[in-house]
Amino acid sequence: MPDHVHAVSPFSGPEQGFESLDPEFFVKAADALLDGLTVAGVNRLVAVGLGANLLGADGRPVMDDPAAFPVEIRPFALAHTAGLARLGERGEEAVDWVMLTPAGFLGHGGERTGRYRVGGERVPGGEPRLSYADLAVAVVDEIERPVRHRERVSVFGFR
C-alpha cells in the first residue's frame, strides 16, 4: 500500500492567532495517523517537520532564540515538537515513519531545482534555503526510494 504524507496544520496561517491552538494538536494527529494507517495496512508515513525545533549553532532549538524565531509563534513550535516526540515514542510500531524538516528559509515562490541536501538535527551553516517545490521533490524521493526510517532529518539547499 502507498505511503501516507503528513503535512497538516491546525490552521492555515499565523494570522489566525495562536490563542485557540490546541497544544496537543500534533500529538493527536500523530496518534490518529499511526492508528488509522495501521488499521488500513499502510506501513509508511512521511511527515513534514518544522525547522524551529532543529538545533541552531549554539546547540539550542531555533525556537529558543528570540532573535531567530518570533516568540509569539513558539506555542505552535512546541506543539509541533510534541508531535515529533510522539512519533518517536511510538516508533517501534507497525508504521515506519520519517520526518523531513526544512532547515533555513523555506521559499514560497522559489524555483524547482530538483536538488536538495539531507542533514541531521542541526541547521546547517551558511544560508540554507529551500523552495516548496524542492521540499516536495524530497518528499516524493523518500516515498519512491525510502532510505530513512524512524528518524527526523533536515532538508535544505543553498542559494
pLDDT tens for each residue of 31-53 = 999 999 999 999 999 999 999 99
- Please tell me the pTM assigned to this model: 0.91
- Pairwise CA distance, residues 117 & 158, whole Å: 9
Q: How far is CA 135 from CA 18, 38, 110, 117, 148, in A?
A: 26, 26, 11, 10, 15
pLDDT digits (tens, 9 = 90+) for 79-116: 999 999 999 999 788 999 999 999 988 887 888 988 99
Which domains, from first to last, does the chain contain?
Answer: 4-158 (3.40.50.720)
